[in-house]
């Protein structure tokens, strides 16, 4: 069974006026070790899909199954536990905490989960993203590519089954982007994660095992290689 | 107009988007303004417009004759016989207690028959003398009746009503014979005919004051000299109402101190305004950059932020006005208690919300706001358009010059130390206040380094004990160091005030307790019933004193007598004690450190006195100096053989041997009795005997221990107002913490949302904010206690000493301090609850933006 499964997922946002249908009947399966690129125009529902996949939000209808568990059936506390164990997030603008050192940023998910051995794990992950020795720096002392690698190390600290990256190269130049993308691809293999990456770039999509094209909240096509 | 639009868009709109935080800031100002206004108004009512109760029905006269122990009645004849057209009005002046309501009212004895309508308040006195329609003979009969009284209308009695009155130690039922309209300057009083009053008070052949109306107003000093020459040396001739002026002068220091205490809330409020405007500036840096790029001048940016503060101040003052008026009613009651206990009998006037007090409120509200907003507003004006826009929405971290600030702090502290050595200015401890203010400023400058240092050092330990939330909290506090420092500054100032006043009052209390332990050698103490006041000395019937002296279990009694006198333009108490009997209880109570027995020996039978410590500061006298005292009709010189500690009243006391006093004032009636129980006799048994002997008299009997308890009860009531002021400062500070935490939550919403992505639970978010509140509280408590300790030294050894002249021994009321600090600490954490809730409710999906 696949680690992440979306079944006829619809998501509506009720804002001030009319409800916005951000996702409309999306069905998707992602397996461990699979690198999926999510493409489509801005506003087509990529971030929404990632948030649902990461148990940060519930579908309006349909089901999101994370490692076989339907997120809608869990309360907030259980969802938190689920996220702590299964999900790692990577963002476009890195989202590091400026007041914490690199080590502390990477350790944070483990510390929040109350797990021990955080420092050793952080050293290990920093080595994985080739940042050994920069642990004591503060984020503003790093380049953009380095920051994103710290963010990746942080997303991997608790060995999640699912890695969700929302336009991880959006704030980076093309050379750096290529490095980050290759890193993600490699890590997906090494760590056997189900990685979903929302992206605009075609190069990024080219590296993926599968490309899911979204349009107005619907899956337009899925290209598997 | 465009400037206004800028003001609106840049400032007003964002504020309206955060109504709660805006409201908290405004409320803080309102409270600060309200407290100052309340103390101002209450001070005006309780002390400023102080009118001696004895001026009731005194009318419009020019001079008055007074003497310690009373003016001989013969003086009236002497004055009448002078070849001048004088109107001479003798009066008895004392107090009576209306037993039903326990109200103490002035008791005024007037020569009702002689005075007639010529005397002031014609209608009033017409009514006093009976009803117009009445048979005139009846009026005369009423006057002759020693139990006739005439009362003010506000007492709500009718002619013919019985009125039980306690006068000295005698409770008798008097009859209301007339009612006069009081109010309008005439306090309600019990009026009696002169002879009846003398009888009721058991003081014959003397009156308390003789009022004189001159044929013309000019040449008052000449008239004064002329009349003085015609009268015995001991009598003082002075302008009418001098007592009131003297009392007012005496009350000034008290009022000053309260006033300054009330400003502390305002200082706390100023910190909060500073914080609010700083937050505004930091948050809107980007927007400031944009409007600057679009052509707004530095001046208009400065004006906009100053305008924001002024608006806060204005609205705060607007709310503070009614608030202050309400608080004034409470304050005036508390103040009146203090005034009675420490100074003089008085009834507070009505609270007048005058135009000037309204102006004061607005000046303070707007003024303090503008001053505290100036620094952040200037910073806003200096934002360079390019830089601010380039940084975009990234949070701008204000640079704090910790090192430089620390140096300034040290300099300010040194300046405070220097100021604390300066002498008072015109009787006011101006340099003492300056020292206290410099200390507050010094701590404000030291706080950034303190916060940074403490959070740096403690971060590891905190994380280990409180978890990752503590790490995040301490990092966040350090990251916005200036904001944190201002908050810690505000809260710690309030805590410092609480601590320092607490230590001062606690030290004072402890000093009084110790002092009383040494002061009360006798076993039982008696005084007439009724509420005590510093200037009221009701007496005990001499026959009762004699009866008690002869009781079998009584070894000896000391008849103490006190008179209200004036010394060198200030009210004072002149007292005597039977020094044959007074037991030396302890080695020395005296400044010289000589054994008590030696000092008493110097006093016995000699023209010698000991004076209380406050007396020496008021009149700048030392051991060996001589005092010229007017006693009865004579004037005599007394040598000060020593100075004793006295904490019972702020007024100066002079004590002499009873035999010496009787030589000049041959009135055996005591004000108090100290009873020494014979060895072997039981105190309780003697007490019972005294109760029996005193049947029909209203006296209160205190054991040694009772008396101490009573004194401490009065003491605690006296200081209630300081506690109330502290409480307000704390409330203001805690509100500030709540508002600031709210701002912190909103500014850090991205981070808080992110934590949810990274696997934090809602509880952890709540804990994070609460830990932050707790850390703030802890830092503020530590800083506040340190500052408070320093300020308490200034309060005790400089301000108190210079304004009141008491030597207070330092004593830290540890239990109370800890209790109060814990209370404040909990309040700070509670203040974090709502911001924490806001943090928990943030939707992470909305707050984590990608740029
Ligand atoms: N919290 C929200 N409230 C209302 N509408 C939203 C919210 N989040 C996203 N949307 C809307 O849902 C649609 C999909 O958004 P999103 O998933 O962010 O798209 P993408 O990431 O592909 O650009 C858009 O039309 C967006 O406006
Ligand atoms: Mg998106």
Per-residue pLDDT reduced to its tens digit, B335-362: 888 887 777 777 777 788 888 889 989 9
Q: Which residues of chain B have a CB within 8 Å of the CB of A83?
A: 757, 759
| Count of CA atoms in the C-beta half-sphere (13 A) of A144 | 15
CA B597 to chain CA centroid, nearest Å: 37
- The Å distance, Cα A29 to ligand 1 centre, comes to 22
Do the strands B190-193 and B209-213 form a parallel or antiparallel pair, or are they unpaired? unpaired
| Cα–Cα distance for residue pair A111/B186, rounded to 1 Å | 76
Could you report the per-residue pLDDT of B471-484, keeping only the tens digit for each? 888 888 888 888 88
Torsion of CA B430, B435, B436, B439, to 10 degrees: 160
- The Å distance, Cα A47 to ligand 1 centre, comes to 7
The torsion angles phi and psi of B561, rounded to 5 degrees, stand at: -135, 135
Could you report the per-residue pLDDT of B772-796, keeping only the tens digit for each? 999 989 999 999 999 999 999 999 9
The torsion angles phi and psi of B65, rounded to 5 degrees, stand at: -115, 125
Q: Give the model's pLDDT for residue B25.
A: 84
CA-based nearest residue in chain A for residue B768: A112
Domains observed in chain A: 4-224 (3.40.50.300)
| Cα–Cα distance for residue pair A20/B337, rounded to 1 Å | 69
Higher pLDDT residue, B521 or A208? A208
ipTM, 2 decimals? 0.94
Could you report the per-residue pLDDT of A166-200, keeping only the tens digit for each? 999 988 998 999 999 999 999 999 999 999 999 98
Q: Which residues of chain A have a CB within 8 Å of the CB of B845?
A: 51, 56-57
| Cα–Cα distance for residue pair B734/B729, rounded to 1 Å | 9
Instruction: Provide the shortest C-alpha distance from residue B452 to chain A (in Å).
Output: 13
CB contact under 8 A, B848 and A80: no
Contact residues of ligand 1, CB 6 A cut-off: A 13, 15, 20, 22, 42-48; B 845-846
Closest to B249 in 3D by CA, of B572, B7, B711:
B572
Name the residue among A89, A95, A112 with its Cβ closest to that of B468.
A112
Q: Which residues of chain A have a CB within 8 Å of the CB of B775?
A: none
Instruction: Provide the shortest C-alpha distance from residue A6 to chain B (in Å).
Output: 19
| Cα–Cα distance for residue pair B630/B566, rounded to 1 Å | 9
Please state the atom number of ligand 1 nearest to the C-alpha of residue A14. 4
- State the first-to-last Cα distance of chain A, in angstroms, to the nearest integer: 19
Q: Give the model's pLDDT for residue B124.
A: 47
Asked whether B284 and B245 are in contact (CB, 8 A), the reply is: no
Pick from B323-327, B585-589, B650-654: least confident: B585-589
Is the pLDDT confidence value at B107 over 60?
A: yes
- The Å distance, Cα A93 to ligand 2 centre, comes to 12
CB contact under 8 A, A93 and B476: no
Please state the atom number of ligand 1 nearest to the C-alpha of residue B845. 1
Q: Give the model's pLDDT for residue B395.
A: 42
Is the pLDDT confidence value at B486 over 80?
A: yes
Q: Which residues of chain A have a CB within 8 Å of the CB of B468?
A: 108, 111-112
B560: three-class secondary structure by DSSP: strand
CA-based nearest residue in chain A for residue B477: A99
Instruction: Provide the shortest C-alpha distance from residue A15 to chain B (in Å).
Output: 12
Could you report the per-residue pLDDT of B7-50, keeping only the tens digit for each? 676 667 777 777 887 888 888 889 889 989 998 888 888 776 66
Higher pLDDT residue, B349 or B429? B429
DSSP state of B159: T
Q: Please check whether residue B756 touches A, CB under 8 A.
A: yes
Question: Model-level pTM?
Answer: 0.80
Give the A window 14-73 contacts with B, CB below 8 Å: 51, 54, 56-57
CA-based nearest residue in chain A for residue B396: A98
Query: What b/e readout covers B154-173, taking b as 16+ CB neighbours within 10 angstroms?
Result: ebebebeeebebbbbbbeee
Asked whether A27 and A219 are in contact (CB, 8 A), the reply is: yes
Is the pLDDT confidence value at B117 over 90?
A: no
Residue closest via CA to ligand 1's atom 13 equals: A22
Q: Please check whether residue B114 touches A, CB under 8 A.
A: no
Number of the ligand closest to the Cα of A22: 1
Please state the atom number of ligand 1 nearest to the C-alpha of residue A51. 17
Q: Please check whether residue A148 touches B, CB under 8 A.
A: no
- The burial class, CB within 10 Å (0-12 / 13-18 / 19+), for A212 is buried
Average pLDDT over residues A98-110: 92
């Amino acid at each position: 069974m696949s680690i992440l499964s979306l079944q006829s997922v619809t998501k509506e946002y009720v804002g001030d006026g009319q409800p916005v249908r951000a996702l409309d009947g999306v069905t998707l399966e992602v397996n461990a070790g699979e690198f999926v690129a999510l493409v489509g125009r801005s506003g087509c529902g990529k971030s929404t899909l990632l948030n649902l996949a990461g148990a940060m939000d519930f579908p309006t209808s349909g089901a999101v199954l994370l490692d076989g568990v339907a997120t809608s059936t869990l309360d907030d506390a259980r969802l938190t536990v689920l996220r702590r164990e299964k999900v790692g997030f990577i963002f476009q603008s890195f989202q590091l905490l400026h007041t914490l050192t690199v080590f502390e940023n990477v350790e944070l998910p483990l510390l929040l989960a109350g797990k021990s051995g955080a420092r050793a794990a952080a050293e290990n992950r920093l080595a994985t993203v080739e940042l050994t020795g920069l642990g004591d720096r503060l984020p503003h002392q790093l380049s953009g590519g380095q920051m994103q690698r710290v963010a990746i190390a942080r997303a991997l600290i608790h060995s999640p089954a699912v890695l969700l990256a929302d336009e991880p190269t959006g704030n980076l130049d093309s050379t750096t982007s290529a490095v980050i993308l290759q890193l993600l691809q490699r890590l997906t293999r090494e760590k056997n994660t189900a990685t979903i990456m929302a992206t605009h770039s075609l190069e990024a999509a080219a590296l993926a095992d599968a490309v899911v094209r979204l349009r107005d909240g619907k899956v337009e096509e899925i290209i598997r290689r | 107009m465009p400037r206004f639009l800028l003001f609106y868009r840049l400032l007003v709109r964002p504020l309206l988007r955060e109504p709660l935080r805006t409201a908290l800031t405004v409320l803080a100002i309102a409270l600060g303004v309200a407290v100052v206004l309340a103390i101002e108004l209450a001070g005006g009512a309780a002390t400023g417009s102080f009118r001696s109760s004895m001026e009731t029905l005194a009318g419009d006269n020019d001079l008055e004759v007074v003497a310690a122990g009373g003016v001989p009645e013969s003086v009236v004849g002497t004055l009448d016989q002078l070849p001048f057209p004088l109107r001479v009005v003798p009066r008895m002046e004392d107090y009576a207690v209306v037993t039903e309501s326990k109200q103490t009212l002035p008791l005024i004895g007037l020569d009702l028959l002689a005075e007639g309508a010529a005397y002031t308040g014609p209608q009033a006195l017409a009514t006093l003398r009976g009803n117009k329609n009445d048979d005139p003979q009846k009026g005369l009969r009423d006057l002759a009746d020693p139990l006739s009284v005439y009362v003010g209308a506000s007492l709500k009695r009718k002619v013919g009503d019985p009125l039980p009155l306690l006068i000295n130690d005698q409770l008798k039922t008097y009859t209301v014979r007339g009612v006069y309209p009081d109010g309008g300057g005439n306090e309600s009083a019990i009026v009696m005919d002169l002879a009846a009053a003398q009888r009721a008070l058991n003081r014959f052949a003397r009156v308390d004051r003789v009022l004189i109306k001159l044929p013309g107003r000019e040449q008052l000093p000449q008239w004064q000299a002329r009349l003085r020459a015609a009268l015995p040396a001991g009598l003082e001739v002075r302008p009418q109402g001098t007592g009131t002026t003297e009392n007012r002068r005496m009350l000034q220091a008290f009022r000053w101190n309260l006033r300054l205490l009330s400003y502390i809330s305002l200082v706390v409020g100023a910190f909060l305004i500073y914080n609010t405007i700083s937050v505004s500036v930091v948050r809107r840096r980007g927007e400031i950059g944009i409007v600057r790029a679009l052509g707004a001048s530095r001046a208009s940016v400065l004006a906009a932020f100053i305008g924001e503060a002024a608006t806060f101040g204005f609205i705060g003052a607007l709310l503070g006005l009614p608030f202050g008026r309400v608080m004034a009613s409470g304050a005036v009651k508390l103040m009146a208690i203090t005034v009675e206990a420490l100074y003089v009998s008085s009834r507070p006037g009505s609270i007048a919300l005058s135009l000037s007090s309204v102006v004061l409120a607005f000046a303070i509200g707007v003024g303090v706001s503008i001053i505290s907003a100036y620094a952040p507003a200037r910073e806003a004006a200096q934002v360079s358009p390019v830089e601010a826009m380039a940084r975009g929405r990234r949070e701008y971290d204000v640079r704090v010059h910790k090192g430089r600030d620390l140096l300034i702090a040290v300099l300010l502290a040194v300046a405070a130390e220097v100021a604390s050595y300066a002498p008072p200015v015109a009787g006011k401890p101006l340099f003492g206040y300056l020292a206290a203010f410099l200390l507050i400023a010094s701590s404000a400058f030291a706080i950034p380094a303190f916060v940074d240092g403490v959070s740096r050092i403690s971060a590891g330990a905190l994380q280990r004990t409180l978890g990752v939330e503590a790490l995040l909290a301490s990092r966040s506090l350090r990251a916005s160091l200036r904001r944190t420092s201002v908050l810690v500054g505000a809260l710690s100032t309030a805590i410092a005030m609480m601590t320092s006043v607490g230590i001062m009052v606690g030290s004072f209390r402890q000093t009084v307790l110790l002092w009383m332990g040494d002061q009360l050698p006798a076993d039982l103490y008696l005084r007439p019933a009724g509420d005590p006041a510093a200037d009221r000395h009701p007496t005990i019937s001499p026959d009762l004193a004699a009866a008690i002296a002869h009781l079998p279990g009584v070894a000896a009694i000391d008849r103490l007598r006190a008179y209200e006198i004036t010394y060198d333009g200030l009210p004072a108490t002149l007292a005597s004690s039977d020094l044959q009997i007074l037991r030396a209880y302890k080695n020395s109570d005296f400044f010289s450190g000589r054994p008590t027995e030696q000092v008493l020996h110097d006093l016995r039978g000699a023209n010698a006195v000991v004076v209380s410590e406050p007396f020496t500061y008021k009149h700048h006298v030392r051991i060996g100096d001589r005092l010229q005292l007017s006693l009865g009709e004579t004037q005599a010189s007394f040598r000060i053989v020593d100075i004793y500690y006295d904490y019972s009243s702020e007024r100066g006391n002079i004590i002499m041997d009873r035999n010496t006093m009787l030589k000049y004032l041959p009135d055996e009636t005591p004000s108090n009795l100290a009873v020494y129980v014979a060895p072997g006799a039981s105190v309780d048994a003697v007490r019972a005997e005294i109760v029996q002997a005193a049947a029909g008299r209203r006296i209160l009997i205190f054991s040694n221990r009772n008396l101490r308890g009573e004194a401490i009860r009065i003491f605690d009531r006296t200081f209630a107002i300081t506690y109330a002021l502290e409480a307000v400062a704390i409330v203001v500070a805690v509100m500030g913490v709540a508002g600031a935490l709210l701002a912190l939550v909103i500014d850090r919403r991205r981070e808080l949302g992110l934590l949810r992505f990274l696997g934090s639970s809602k509880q952890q978010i709540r804990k994070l904010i609460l830990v932050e509140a707790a850390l703030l509280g802890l830092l503020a408590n530590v800083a506040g206690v340190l500052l408070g300790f320093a300020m308490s030294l200034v309060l005790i050894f400089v301000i108190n000493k210079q304004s009141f002249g008491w030597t207070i021994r330092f004593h830290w009321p540890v239990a109370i301090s800890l209790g109060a600090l814990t209370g404040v600490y909990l309040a700070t954490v509670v203040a974090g609850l709502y911001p924490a809730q806001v943090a928990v409710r943030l939707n992470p999906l909305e707050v984590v933006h990608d740029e």
